Every structure is written in C-alpha cells, then in structure tokens.
Amino acid sequence: MKKILLLTIVALGAFSSTMAQKWALVDMEYILKNIPAYESATQQIEQCSKKWEKEISALNTEIQTLYKNYQSEMVLLSDEQKKERAQEIVDKETQVKDLKRKYFGNDGELYKKRESLMKPIQEEIYNAIKDIAEAKDYMRVDDRASSPSILFANPAVDISDEVLTKLGYAK
C-alpha cells in the first residue's frame, strides 16, 4: 500500500511539474510579412535570381543555335571543322553547368546573397523571441507556421505581435 501511495505521489509530482511549464507560439510567416527589411531582401534575392536565370537562358539559346547550325552545315564541314564546332558546343554547355553551380549551387552566389540578407533579420527575430521568453519564463516557444502538429492553440499563447512590437514594428 505504501508503494502504491508513493508511486502515485511521484507520478502526480512529475505530471504537475510538466503542466507548470509555460510555453508560447509565434507565427514566423506573419512576423516576416510584417518586417519591411524582409520583403526588401526577398525582392533583392528574386532580382538576382532572375538576372542569373536570364544569363543562363541566353547561353542555352546560344547553344541551341550553335547546335542547329552545326547540324545543318555538318555535310559541308571538314572533320577538323566538325571537331571545332562540337568542342565549341561542349565548351558552352560546360560554361552553363559552371554558371549554374556558381549561382545556384549549395555554396553559390544565391545562397551567399540569401545568407547575407536574411541572417541579420533572423537573428534579430530570434533575439527578440529569446528576450520575451526569458522575461516571461517561457520554457518553450514553437513556430506555428512550421509545425503541422499544432492543430489548435489558444490565441493568448501567440506572442507574434509582441515580437513585432519588440522589433519596432508595432501593429
């Protein structure tokens, strides 16, 4: 009987300590949409991306033209001229692959641009969330936008507007 009573007390103690933890939610999509610097950074990244895609597209068009010309003139070309033209096409294709890697690769220009523009904004948001969480003794802050497991949460635990206010973008 004493063991059962002791186990019950321990279980209730563990349950109540987990229930006493305070937590909050933020909606990162909402926060980011309300920060003008984020919108500006997104536009800059899109402009760079479009410019680079246009450059690559122009090279691809040039390759297609070279290939069509090669196909139509092939019967008139000497073996050496065929090799030169084929090598020119291969060189252009290699150039396109290198540009794609340079601009859009894992460590490419687009990644670096995104990192340089977005990281300061993300750090500022993180620090604001951290300050609020420490001030209000939140043990955990979840992102509502990226967590599909949150089906419902009381709006009272959403601190997104508070984060925006702390960042100086009061609603």
Secondary structure of 97-146 in HEC code, one letter for each residue: HHHHHHHHCCCCHHHHHHHHHHHHHHHHHHHHHHHHHHHCCEEEEEECCC
* pLDDT at residue 106, as a whole number: 92
Listed in sequence order, the residues at least 6 apart from 144 whose beta carbon sits closer than 8 Å to its beta carbon are 25, 26, 27, 28, 150, 153, 158
Mean pLDDT of the chain: 88
User: 73 pLDDT exceeds 60?
Assistant: yes
User: 142 pLDDT exceeds 80?
Assistant: yes
**Across 31-35, 108-112, 128-132, 145-149, least confident range:** 145-149
* pLDDT at residue 6, as a whole number: 44
Query: Which residue type occupies 90?
Result: V
Reported as type and span, the H/E element at residue 22 is strand 22-26
User: 7 pLDDT exceeds 50?
Assistant: no
**Residue, of 4 and 82, whose pLDDT is higher:** 82
d(CA 28, CA 142): 10
* pLDDT at residue 171, as a whole number: 64
| Average pLDDT score over residue span 49-60 | 97
